[in-house]
A and B are shown apart, each in its own frame.
Chain A
Amino acid sequence: MSVLEVRDLTVKFYTGEGVVTAVDGLNYSIDRGEKFGVVGESGAGKSVTALSLMRLIERPGYIESGQILFKGQDLLELSDAEMRRIRGNEIAMVFQDAQTALNPVYTVGEQISEALRHHLDYGEAEAKERTIELLDTVGIPAAESRYSDYPHEFSGGMQQRAIIAMALSCDPDLLICDEPTTALDVTIEAKILEEIEALADEFDTAIQLITHDLGVIAEVCDRVMVMYAGSPVETASAEELFYDPKHPYTVGLMSAIPRIGDRRESLQTIPGTMPDLVELPPGCSFHPRCPFAEEACTRRDPPLMDPETGADVSDDPGVERAAACLAHSGDLEQDLDYDVTVREPDGHTETTVTDGDGRV
């Protein structure tokens, strides 16, 4: 059963330069205890999606349409007070930059226990005790004495752990992690990710993990949605996404990951940058950066399709496998001629697993 179901979510920002459609008709769902990844470059609409779930979009942004069904209830229809009971309590958020997400003038302990006091009606002493427990759980040594430390007395990794403790404090059903490790060193990143994963399993919490890093997705997620310019371009299980990507943008992201023992001359990055959301390119918004683009791509904006049949599945939030590329509806003249190879551990033998059309 899905804990979260997002239907046709559209978020617009009314700026001086024009109307920005940050999220355009988004559909997806997350099952109880599932780890769901959202990946894309900055500006793809990932963070706006996350804030929409919490109804924390601020002026000049507005949620224009859609439904956010959390345990069957539409969050967009709740009153402000009802929504506040859900925030931090049933849906919690881990922020990208722990240093800025912590208030510098209050102790870390106070900032965690304040949520406990607010949502669970804990007393002063009770909240403190539970907070110390939480700090200990997320791996902060000497949690008891650390309780009354200020954020600046914590290292970056510890700050992020504190933020995670804060998010887990009220045992939420859904944890939204917005680039939780981007600000951290690589060594700490791995530890924090493991921590999030273990804790989510322990608390049976569903996770929506937002990142621009496919490596992070590979480490944590069960299912993935790739976003580009405010819309999803591909959804798949993590396994399928890596072995059998169906959208050129996913392929581009994958080929931009540097690898040890890479024999290519240079890293193949995706040319150009994410378009300004005020004025999107006509047709498929990825076509100006897509090596496989054809004339047809400038005329039609492809919906999410079943890559096997080419059927439009864009209205189904629970769809298992979909990609928004005209290649799958047979509208392109050429094939998507890329290959995914898996190198054997010895580094020499290579097996071509698949190419864009799914032929092995």
Chain B
Amino acid sequence: MTERTTERGRIQVTGFDPERVTERDPLSGWTEETGTETKSRWKRVFGRFVRNRTAMIGLVVVLFMSLLAILARPVEFFGFAVQPLSLAPYPPGDMLYADPTVDVSRNEAPSWAHPFGTDGSGRDIFSRVLYGGRYSISIGFVVVALAASFGMVYGSVSGYYGGWVDEIMMRVVDVVLAFPMLVLALVIVAMFGGGYWQLVAAFAVVGWASYARLIRGEVLTIKENEYVLAAKALGARDRSVILKHVTPNAVAPVIVLATLNIGTVVIGVAALGFLGLGMPPGSAEWGSMLEGGRDAIIPGPGGEIRWWITVFPGAAIFLFVMSMNMIGDGVNDALDAQETGAEMRGGQ
């Protein structure tokens, strides 16, 4: 055995000339490149997302529900009808039993004229559910946009400066994250009152912290990366390095977090509405509708259960959030970014 070991270095092969291969014409039509893709990363991500059936169903449902909310009643700006259509048969606030032209009473079970029935005040639940999307859906998107932008700036600054600045800024994040999202939002709304922009403010004030932590982590990782050190060694400035390298790396987890976050915010808004702390009572907001219909789960005077009053608004929230989460999962799978914690979703 040892003999061979010592001989190993002495055997030499000559005559195997790679140039003969590289310089001759291919002998057959076969080439190495068959089937290899050279698409860009984002194109591949997009392709994977589009091929994900679940995510596409979610996307269609979200777009459909948003469209219904917009088209439910006319949209007016300063008296101008920007959107003149009105898919909802009745204004969401109208108590129809008082309207002599409509033949309907309170608490009416679903029928052709009122597919989702009417509530305790004789309002058409179908119209209210369609219209109610305006509150929940738009608050969801606005909150996430605000929280994500602020959180990203905050997190980049914290990670970029490091040291005691980072230390202090992150302790603030810890404090915010020490509360369940809903509890803090509850206190804020309780103190500043309900209403559209109060809700937006409450959830944005609570929601930015997780984006800040995420981005800070990315910035710190990037700062440690060898190619960044190399870029710095070549004289690039920190700021440009971070902007150039953090952005593409951090965008993926932020998108995943944001998509899933929209669902959380929608549930949170509805929960506040359900606790009577969101939109003014009687609003066609999904959560407030459930609050107004709570007594309907107890048998009414005739012993009948008015299930339609609670089933439809809640189902609307469920459907929207589920679709949003399906999109989020799809984005996550497409980006293959499991480490961003897409599985969890606290603060309900």
Contacts and interface: CB of A to CB of B under 8 A. Distances in A.
Direct contact of A and B (CB under 8 A): yes
Interface of A: 17, 197, 215, 218-220, 238-239, 242-243, 245, 248, 251-252, 254-255, 259-260, 262, 268-273, 275-276, 278-279, 281-283, 287-295, 297-298, 337-345, 355-356
A259 B10 CA distance: 8
A328 to B, nearest CB: 17
B20 interface: yes
Interface string B23-50: 0001110101011100000000000000
Interface of B: 1, 4-5, 7-22, 26-28, 30, 32, 34-36
Nearest to B36: A276
A279 B28 CA distance: 13
A251 B5 contact: no
B192 to A, nearest CB: 49
Given A215-B8, A255-B14, A340-B13, A288 B26 contact: yes
Contacts of B4: 218-219, 238-239, 242
A134 B5 CA distance: 28
Contacts of A218: 4-5, 7-8
A230 to B, nearest CB: 16
A262 B12 CA distance: 9
Instruction: Please name the 5 residue pairs, one residue from A and one from B, whose CB atoms are nearest each other, closest first.
Output: A338-B15, A291-B20, A298-B28, A281-B30, A271-B18
A291 B18 contact: yes
B245 to A, nearest CB: 29
Contact of A251 (B13, B19, B20, B34): B13
A248 B27 CA distance: 16
B5 A219 contact: yes
B27 A219 contact: no
The secondary-structure label for the interface of chain B is: mixed
A197 B21 contact: no
Contacts of B20: 291-292
A291 B17 contact: yes
B12 A288 contact: no
B16 A291 contact: yes
A339 B35 contact: no
Contacts of A268: 16-18
Contacts of A291: 16-21
Given A290-B21, A291-B20, A283 B28 contact: yes
16 contacts: A218-B7, A218-B8, A219-B8, A272-B32, A273-B32, A276-B32, A276-B36, A282-B28, A287-B27, A288-B30, A290-B21, A291-B17, A338-B15, A339-B13, A341-B13, A356-B15
A23 B233 CA distance: 48
B1 A338 contact: no
Contacts of A355: 15
B32 A260 contact: no
A27 B4 CA distance: 27
A278 B9 contact: no
A218 B7 CA distance: 9
B11 A276 contact: no
A295 to B, nearest CB: 6
A112 to B, nearest CB: 28
B27 A293 contact: yes
B15 A281 contact: no
Contact of A260 (B9, B22, B34, B35): B9
A282 B30 contact: yes
B100 to A, nearest CB: 65
A288 B8 contact: no
A339 B20 CA distance: 16
Given A268-B16, A269-B18, A298-B27, A340 B11 contact: yes
A342 B10 CA distance: 5
A219 B7 CA distance: 10
Given A271-B22, A298-B27, A248 B5 contact: no
A197 B1 contact: yes
Contact of A288 (B5, B11, B17, B28): B28
Nearest to B34: A279
Nearest to B16: A255
A341 B11 contact: yes
Contacts of A288: 21, 26-28, 30, 32
Nearest to B2: A219
A233 B90 CA distance: 80
A17 B35 contact: yes
Given A251-B13, A288-B32, A355-B15, 4 more contacts: A279-B34, A279-B35, A282-B30, A291-B19
A287 B24 CA distance: 12
Contacts of A252: 16
Contacts of B14: 255, 338-339, 341
A275 B31 CA distance: 9
Contacts of A220: 1
Nearest to A245: B13
Contacts of A339: 13-15
Nearest to B27: A298
Contacts of A215: 8
A344 B27 CA distance: 39
A338 B10 contact: no
Given A239-B4, A271-B21, A276-B35, A297 B16 contact: no
A275 B30 CA distance: 10
B12 A219 contact: no
Contacts of A283: 28
Given A248-B16, A287-B27, A298-B28, A243 B21 contact: no
A276 to B, nearest CB: 7
Contacts of B22: 271
Contacts of B9: 259-260
Contacts of B16: 248, 251-252, 254-255, 268, 270, 291, 338
A291 B26 CA distance: 11
Contacts of B36: 276
B27 A342 contact: no
Contacts of A292: 20
Nearest to A283: B28
Contacts of B34: 276, 279
A270 to B, nearest CB: 7
B12 A341 contact: yes
B16 to A, nearest CB: 4
Contact of B15 (A260, A298, A337): A337
